Structure 1
């Protein structure tokens, strides 16, 4: 009989946290490790030394930070002060196997409810190569998306169907006709419309794809449309096949509401890129002492198979700080596994009140054009029409990538000049 590998030889997963606690942080970290592995509130006969040696979580690091007089979250143990700390825990991979859902149950699970913690935030995760390779991961990523959309360089210039709700399939197709003739690269359904009675996918998909296929036949260029197929798993598989069978090149899902298991299963079925919409993200990030940092969040979604992931945009209408937006985009473009034949990045999707004005700052901070830049009003609100809106956005990216100011470039690009006058500066700096 082959001998079992020792605990020293086993690959491990690790997770990092920002915690707040009325206890000594070392003691709180031990409580976290016990809760999420072999321990409970009292010692049980089955929790042998051998079992703990093989399966217990380990406290890898604890670093104390600032203290405060009041707890950030209710329901915790009382204390004189509440100490913040960075904590790293690790677990043997064999505790969960190749399962994203069970990974989440392990690194999050009951930790969010421990009375020992008055603050809890997952900040990052590190996974062994064996786990990463066992996950489906992005199927198309950046290179495959570019190939399908026919965009070799620069960002994919995109937009969202607006108004978000209320358009019939025929009205949606008419708007798509305007957009593709204007030169758009990428169009997406809004997250608020999937398969409603007034615009069922069975009618919307063929209506939209007739327009796109006709445009492709005439021009040799086929813009990408992300149809919102959000639903239960059986519905999403059927809707994916509907899009595929009509020549579509992308599907979209609201990743927070379908769940990690369904996203993974959809990816294993899919033959098209999956556009991951993160609506509801504010639940995870808006309180500094509760939730998940995007670095950890996007890792999980990419492992499950998302090819594109939303990151908000600079100077947007939402609460997220600009620095967080850029850090999120950089995380999406950082390989999970360094391998010459592997492309497992997710294309970051910038959105929310984006116009020509945010282009220079976005490029300067990200130093990449591997992104989808979606503008609703920033394209369709151009005074000279949708085609001018598209040309204005392209001119802004062309100028920025050449190191030319928008104002200087606008002297030779009238659509950009009009956009500079028409659109106000971003909501935030």
Structure 2
């Protein structure tokens, strides 16, 4: 019988011989320590030791990327970069996300042998689906609740992030739903402060959204930020449901995987997973983990959407990384007949009608959320024209019409291109 195994891929940088460095990683994160100990039998190692599945040298660096790394005795002083794949039997930890994280991203980054060590990917056996539910709504369910098909879901965010009262928040929502937007989210900084209590804010906002739905038939999706302690989040979820809401939002790094698993088990609504704090894990090429690996943990825990940044964004992430992240959200984690656990990638951060065509060209799909703040609210003709301009830009992109050509017959798009040309 084949024992299911967990695979983790890394990029490492070390002055030690690559084979020795990879073996050190495997031992540190399974049966070994710096010396052989009583009880570490050959049988135990055969059953439970991590294995080095692949080791590919990638080049050299002149100086260490991280401080505190060591040099081997008698070494040649060269620091090599390599791709390493390790594997573990699932029996070491069971299908447990917290313990998976401790195994594949535990003490490794602190080892003196490495001047760089980053987790780049995970491949998990479907036994994890015995414990974790994965996304409840994903792409299809989110589209159904938002009433948007065959095009991106056009979204925006409440700004200013904090400082608005519940009534002022609701008034901004009134403007946005009137403009024709599909999705609105709280900022991650706005949850349940005394100036804008969660229950009062959601009640005020949902009155506006329900009134708009009664008049137009369109129930705009509002992602209410319920981030907090577990009991608070469950109660806030119930309040959103009672008010007729169709989405909740949680800051993933703030609440952790076990809390997300519990929220998913309780939730009747899509979970918008906000990745704020992600830069601490992903920004450095020498440490942390890639978004490719990161989002798989949260997909299993149960999110339905997550941010992937955007083309030509205001942050530091390059475009190829953004698109790789978005594609990965739409890529099944498991082979049929197991659920694929696909989720909605959310493009955001300085997005406007200018980015629609390059985003579609790179992604090759309209299964995404395209969120713009200034790209909607700062349109010269107002928010409704901002939403129309985004729709026009995406329609042109899908039809293969150059955006400048499409703008000649679409005044809202023409104005957007002029306003957001930088």
Question: What is the TM-score with the length of structure 2 in the denominator?
Answer: 0.97
1:388 aligns to what? 385
CA distance in 2 between counterparts of 1:89 and 1:200 reads 47
1:64 aligns to what? 57
Residue 304 in 1 paired to residue 301 in 2? yes
Q: 1:399 to 1:287 in 2, by over 3 A?
A: same
Q: Of the candidates 36, 43, 63, which is equivalent to residue 43 of structure 1?
A: 36
2:168 aligns to what? 171
Residue 330 in 1 paired to residue 330 in 2? no
CA distance in 2 between counterparts of 1:261 and 1:82 reads 38
Q: Of the candidates 207, 212, 215, which is equivalent to residue 212 of structure 2?
A: 215
- Contact 2:331–2:340 under 8 Å retained in 1: no
Q: 1:344 to 1:192 in 2, by over 3 A?
A: same
1:123 aligns to what? 120
Aligned length: 418
- Contact 1:141–1:307 under 8 Å retained in 2: yes
Task: Map residues 24-423 of structure 1 onto 2, 5 A cutoff.
Answer: 24-78=17-71, 80-339=77-336, 342=339, 344-423=341-420
- Contact 1:312–1:351 under 8 Å retained in 2: yes
CA distance in 1 between counterparts of 2:18 and 2:339 reads 40
Deviation of 1:68 after TM superposition, in Å, equals: 2.2
Deviation of 1:134 after TM superposition, in Å, equals: 3.3
Deviation of 1:311 after TM superposition, in Å, equals: 0.3
Cα offsets for 1:160-210 (capped at 9, x unmatched): 001111110000001101111111100000111111110001100100001
Cα offsets for 1:362-396 (capped at 9, x unmatched): 00000001011000000000011111111111111
Deviation of 1:133 after TM superposition, in Å, equals: 4.7
The 10-residue stretch of structure 1 (315-324 or 238-247) with the greater mean CA deviation from structure 2: 238-247
Cα offsets for 1:48-84 (capped at 9, x unmatched): 1111111111111111121223211111112512111
- Contact 1:132–1:336 under 8 Å retained in 2: no
Deviation of 1:341 after TM superposition, in Å, equals: 7.9
CA distance in 2 between counterparts of 1:292 and 1:107 reads 10
The 10-residue stretch of structure 1 (334-343 or 124-133) with the greater mean CA deviation from structure 2: 334-343
CA distance in 2 between counterparts of 1:294 and 1:120 reads 15
- Contact 1:160–1:188 under 8 Å retained in 2: yes
Which runs of no fewer than 5 residues in structure 1 stay unpaired?
A: none
Which runs of no fewer than 5 residues in structure 2 stay unpaired?
A: none
What's the RMSD between the two structures over aligned residues?
1.2
CA distance in 1 between counterparts of 2:372 and 2:159 reads 11
Question: What is the TM-score with the length of structure 1 in the denominator?
Answer: 0.95
Deviation of 1:117 after TM superposition, in Å, equals: 1.1
CA distance in 2 between counterparts of 1:81 and 1:233 reads 49
- Contact 2:126–2:338 under 8 Å retained in 1: no
